[in-house]
């Protein structure tokens, strides 16, 4: 009899716009029975408020720029803290920078970080395909390019950050959703270094 495998339940999903973080994240959180937290959703809710913070957040999101850390934490500190305290979580869109990853380490480091890898052209096509749905930042090609650039410059460094500690799993997210889901579950059940 082999040792029983531990399925990680503090999970971060990393990936460019259109990589499927939302679709996969909601299903995964349900499967694991842990909270799903999307900083993008929380920020979009905040951006609908007619307050100084709401207007500043809206300007960043609609332009496809990252929301600065201080503003981000004002908007998401409490729901994030609640997810970390719940003992398990699926995070979509956080951390997105090395400094955010250091913040996450202080309140409860992820056991697994799943990188949903898709080429830029697939990301562009998917975002364009859903843009009729509602989001201003999906409908504006300049904002989409900014988001892709922000992913490459600000978020990609997290791949080495987490790979160095043995918690990174790379999944081919250009596959159909059911195969991506299966690959994520495999990655969570695999032995990790920590
Ligand atoms: P996507 O991954 O498709 O770009 P999200 O809903 O995750 O969509 O994010 C939408 C926008 O919200 C981002 O372009 C950025 O402006 C803002 N945002 C979300 N999460 C963060 C974060 N952790 N730090 C800074 N900005 C964020």
> Rounded to an integer, what distance in angstroms lies between the CA atom of residue 1 and that of residue 64?
51
Does pLDDT of 144 surpass 80? yes
What does the pLDDT look like over 59-74, one tens digit per residue? 999 999 999 999 998 8
Does pLDDT of 2 surpass 70? no
Residue 20 falls inside a structural domain: yes
Residue nearest to atom 18 of ligand 1 (CA): 40
- The mean pLDDT of 149-161, rounded to a whole number, is 98
Does pLDDT of 170 surpass 90? yes
What does the pLDDT look like over 101-131, one tens digit per residue? 999 998 889 999 999 999 999 999 999 988 6
Task: Report CA(91)–ligand 1 centroid distance (Å).
Answer: 12
Please state the pTM of the whole predicted model: 0.92
Residue 192 falls inside a structural domain: no
What does the pLDDT look like over 20-67, one tens digit per residue? 999 999 999 999 999 999 999 999 999 989 999 999 999 999 999 999
CB-based contacts of 135, cutoff 8 Å, min separation 6: 44
Tell how far CA 16 is from the center of its chain: 9
Does pLDDT of 133 surpass 70? no
Task: Report CA(176)–ligand 1 centroid distance (Å).
Answer: 23
Name residues contacting ligand 1 (CB within 6 A): 17, 21, 39-40, 43, 60-61, 64-67, 72, 93-94, 96, 100, 137, 147
Does pLDDT of 1 surpass 70? no
Task: Find out whether 116 and 19 touch, Cβ atoms under 8 Å.
Answer: yes
Task: Report CA(64)–ligand 1 centroid distance (Å).
Answer: 8
Domain total for the chain? Answer: 1
**How confident is the model at residue 160, as a pLDDT?**
98
> Rounded to an integer, what distance in angstroms lies between the CA atom of residue 15 and that of residue 155?
8
Range of the domain at 131: 10-187
DSSP the chain: -PPPPPPP-EEEEE--TTSSHHHHHHHHHHHHTS-EEEHHHHHHHHHTSSSHHHHHHHHHHHHTPPPPHHHHHHHHHHHHHHHHHTT-EEEES---SHHHHHHHHHHH--SEEEEEE--HHHHHHHHHHHGGGS-HHHH-HHHHHHHHHHIIIIITHHHHHHHTTT-EEEEETTS-HHHHHHHHHHHHHS----
Residue 2 falls inside a structural domain: no
Does pLDDT of 194 surpass 60? no
Residue 5 falls inside a structural domain: no
> Ligand 1 pocket check: which of 23, 61, 93, 113 to mutate, most ligand atoms within 8 Å of Cβ?
93
Residue 145 falls inside a structural domain: yes
**pLDDT above 90 as % of the chain:** 75
Task: Report CA(103)–ligand 1 centroid distance (Å).
Answer: 17
CATH number at residue 25: 3.40.50.300
Task: Report CA(35)–ligand 1 centroid distance (Å).
Answer: 18
Residue nearest to atom 14 of ligand 1 (CA): 64
Residue 23 falls inside a structural domain: yes
Task: Report CA(15)–ligand 1 centroid distance (Å).
Answer: 11
**How confident is the model at residue 66, as a pLDDT?**
96
> Rounded to an integer, what distance in angstroms lies between the CA atom of residue 90 and that of residue 102?
17
**How confident is the model at residue 136, as a pLDDT?**
87
Residue 193 falls inside a structural domain: no
Residue 73 falls inside a structural domain: yes
């Amino acid at each position: 009899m082999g040792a029983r495998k531990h399925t990680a339940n503090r999970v971060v999903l990393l990936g460019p716009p259109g990589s499927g973080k939302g679709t996969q994240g909601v299903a995964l959180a349900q499967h694991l029975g842990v909270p799903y937290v999307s900083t993008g959703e929380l920020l979009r809710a905040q951006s609908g408020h007619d307050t100084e913070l709401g207007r500043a957040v809206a300007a960043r999101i609609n332009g496809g720029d990252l929301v600065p850390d201080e503003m981000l934490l004002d908007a998401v500190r409490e729901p994030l803290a609640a997810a970390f305290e719940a003992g398990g979580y699926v995070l979509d869109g956080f951390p997105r920078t090395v400094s955010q990853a250091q913040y996450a380490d202080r309140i409860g480091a992820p056991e697994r970080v799943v990188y949903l890898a898709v080429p830029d052209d697939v990301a562009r096509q998917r975002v364009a395909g859903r843009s009729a749905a509602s989001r201003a930042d999906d409908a504006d090609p300049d904002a989409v390019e900014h988001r892709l650039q922000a992913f490459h410059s600000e978020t990609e460094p997290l791949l080495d950050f987490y790979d160095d500690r043995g918690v990174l799993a790379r999944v081919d997210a250009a596959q159909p959703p059911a195969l991506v889901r299966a690959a994520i579950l495999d990655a969570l059940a695999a032995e990790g270094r920590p």
